[in-house]
């Protein structure tokens, strides 16, 4: 579980990548990903989410997640678990439910404890709760907070700690890179969890960013430290820096600078433990499918060839 196995680039941080099962048929892609002198960590992009792991109530399917966990193990890479509870990619039996508070608590506990137990001993850190906030800093509504209020977060964290006492327990979200309502809500949540004795070890800062709109390094560091001064660690968990297509030399140059800004900000903060890009090649990036007209967000291009962003990434480490 030590971070130290993953300190492959700059000596302090791990560098990692998300990956997803369909991509593992691409042997060139897998060979590059499996170089643990470069990629010290991997995250499953989809196959440990609720819809993948408990598609029917009480029916748990770990085959796809196990493929990613086994890949990390055979490559000697740290594994981040992603994720236990999220408003998105829930199974339809969950979104369609009409439960009492006792039922919702029990279903959440069973899901979290079964998934985290299955991977116990294999996971460095779990994104136990994913994306709990709206951008204005209010609690994002979906079935669990609607029934249980914010206490669903405590229920999930406690169940995860019991299931794998060695795993670091994270809450993960986007648009918490610099100061603002969402960052403040997350920082206040961490403090209130700690005051209540609820386990919380880290905050994941997704960092789905836009070329030319990345906060200044000083603004990043100030906000990162607002988290770590609470006594927790942080990680950059899903970094990509997208642009409106087509790519141009100017955009690629700005992207290079933006990658260096983010990675070096993490490096400057003692308890920022690593940087994960949300996959490593544009070939498998989620961005074009979710943000039409945007893309080219990762350090390797569609042909698995490095881009200027790669040099920015390396410079940051």
Q: Which is nearer to ligand XIL, 105 or 274 (CB)?
A: 274
Structure tokens at 183: 């960052």
Cβ atoms 171, 186 nearer than 8 A? yes
Alpha carbons 242 and 258: distance in angstroms, whole number: 10
Q: Closest distance between ligand XIL and the C-beta of residue 102, in Å?
A: 29
Chain positions 4 to 63 lying near ligand XIL, rule: CB under 6 A, are 45-46
Of the candidates 131, 206, 233, 238, the residue annotated as catalytic is 238
Q: Which is nearer to ligand XIL, 144 or 286 (CB)?
A: 286
Nearby residues of 222 by Cβ (< 8 Å), 6 or more positions away = 178, 179
Q: Is 238 a catalytic residue?
A: yes
Q: Which is nearer to ligand XIL, 45 or 65 (CB)?
A: 45
Among 164, 177, 201, 238, binds ligand XIL (CB under 6 A): 238
Alpha carbons 2 and 80: distance in angstroms, whole number: 12
Cβ atoms 20, 46 nearer than 8 A? yes
Q: What is the largest CA-CA distance in the chain?
A: 56
| Radius of gyration of the chain from its Cα atoms, rounded to whole angstroms | 19
Cβ atoms 122, 78 nearer than 8 A? no
Q: Closest distance between ligand XIL and the C-beta of residue 45, in Å?
A: 4
* Residue span 182-221 as binding mask against ligand XIL, x where in contact by CB under 6 A, dash where not: ------------------------x---------------
Q: Closest distance between ligand XIL and the C-beta of residue 106, in Å?
A: 25
Q: Closest distance between ligand XIL and the C-beta of residue 30, in Å?
A: 17
The region, left, alpha or beta by phi > 0 then psi within -120 to 50, assigned to residue 186 is alpha
Q: Closest distance between ligand XIL and the C-beta of residue 247, in Å?
A: 20
Among 39, 119, 286, 317, binds ligand XIL (CB under 6 A): 286
Nearest to 154 by CA among 108, 98, 116: 108
Pairing of strands 78-85, 208-210: unpaired
Q: Which is nearer to ligand XIL, 127 or 317 (CB)?
A: 127
Catalytic residue numbers read 238
Which residues contact ligand XIL (rule: CB under 6 A)?
45-46, 130, 206, 238, 286
């Amino acid at each position: 579980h030590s971070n130290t196995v993953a300190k492959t680039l700059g000596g302090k941080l791990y560098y990692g990548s998300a990956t997803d099962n369909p991509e593992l048929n691409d042997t060139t892609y897998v060979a590059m990903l499996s170089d643990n002198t470069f990629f010290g960590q991997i995250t499953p992009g989809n196959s440990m989410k609720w819809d993948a792991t408990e598609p029917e109530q009480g029916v748990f399917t770990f085959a796809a997640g196990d493929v990613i966990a086994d890949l990390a193990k055979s490559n000697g890479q740290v594994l981040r678990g992603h994720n236990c509870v999220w408003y998105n990619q829930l199974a339809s039996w969950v979104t369609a439910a009409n439960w009492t508070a006792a039922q919702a608590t029990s279903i959440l506990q069973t899901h979290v404890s079964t998934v985290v137990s299955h991977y116990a001993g294999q996971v460095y850190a779990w994104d136990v709760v994913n994306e709990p906030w709206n951008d204005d800093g209010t609690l994002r509504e979906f079935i669990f907070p609607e029934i249980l209020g914010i206490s669903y977060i405590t229920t999930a964290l406690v169940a995860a700690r019991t299931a794998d006492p060695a795993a670091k327990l994270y809450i993960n979200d986007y648009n918490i890179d610099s100061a603002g309502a969402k960052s403040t809500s997350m920082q206040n949540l961490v403090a209130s969890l700690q005051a209540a004795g609820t386990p919380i070890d880290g905050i994941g800062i997704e960092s789905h960013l836009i070329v030319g709109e990345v906060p200044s390094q000083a603004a990043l560091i100030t906000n990162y430290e607002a988290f770590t001064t609470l006594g927790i660690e942080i990680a950059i968990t899903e970094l990509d820096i997208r642009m409106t297509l087509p790519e141009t030399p100017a955009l690629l140059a700005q992207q290079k600078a933006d990658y260096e800004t983010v990675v070096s900000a993490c490096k400057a903060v003692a308890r920022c433990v690593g940087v994960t890009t949300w996959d490593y090649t544009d070939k498998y990036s989620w961005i074009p499918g979710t943000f039409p007209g945007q893309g080219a967000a990762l350090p390797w291009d569609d042909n698995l060839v490095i881009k200027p962003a790669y040099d920015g990434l390396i410079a940051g480490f």
